[in-house]
């Protein structure tokens, strides 16, 4: 393991090479016992608890401005069902994007047995 490889945030805790973290792995999950497989060595890893918490908090922080945006979209759409569906979609996408960004900014991987 070289010094350059081990300084990467997405480095596998087993081999030090990029583990191949996917965007969907950065979303909050209810599973505490999940494990992902490294593309390089096949070792199992998971996101650190700090990354998981940052992901959740980032998504929740996006809800505050998202609710105001939700109201604006529904009001502009005249309260129609289509406006509610569009506003809900915008709110969900905002949660997902903020969650993934915060998860990526604090990304650290830990080995799984």
Residue 27 to residue 99: CA distance in whole angstroms:
6
Query: In the chain, pLDDT over 90 holds for what percent of residues?
Result: 48
**Residues 71-86 pLDDT 10s:** 999 999 888 999 999 9
Which three-class secondary structure state does DSSP give residue 90?
helix
Q: CA-CA distance, 80 to 61, in Å (whole number)?
A: 27
The pTM (predicted TM-score) of the whole model is 0.80
> For the segment 33-52, what is each residue's pLDDT rounded down to a tens digit?
788 888 888 889 988 889 99
18, with CB counted inside 10 A (0-12, 13-18, 19+), is middle
pLDDT of residue 3: 43
- Three-class SS of 39-70: CCCCCEEEECHHHHHHHHHHHHHHHHHHHHHH
Paired strand residues for 77:
none
Q: Which domain holds residue 90?
A: 3-111
- Domain count for the chain, please give it: 1
Q: How many degrees, rounded to 5, is the angle at CA 95 between CA 80 and CA 68?
A: 50
5 vs 105, higher pLDDT: 105
């Amino acid at each position: 393991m070289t010094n350059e490889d081990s300084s990467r945030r997405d480095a596998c805790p087993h081999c030090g090479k990029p583990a191949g973290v996917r965007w969907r792995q950065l979303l909050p999950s209810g599973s505490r016992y999940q494990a992902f497989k490294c593309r390089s060595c096949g070792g199992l890893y998971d996101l650190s608890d700090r990354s998981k918490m940052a992901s959740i908090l980032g998504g929740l922080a996006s809800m505050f401005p998202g609710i105001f945006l939700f109201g604006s979209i529904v009001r502009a759409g005249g309260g129609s069902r289509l406006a509610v569906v569009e506003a809900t979609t915008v709110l969900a996408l905002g949660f997902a994007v903020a969650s993934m960004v915060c998860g990526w900014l604090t990304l650290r991987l830990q080995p799984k047995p």
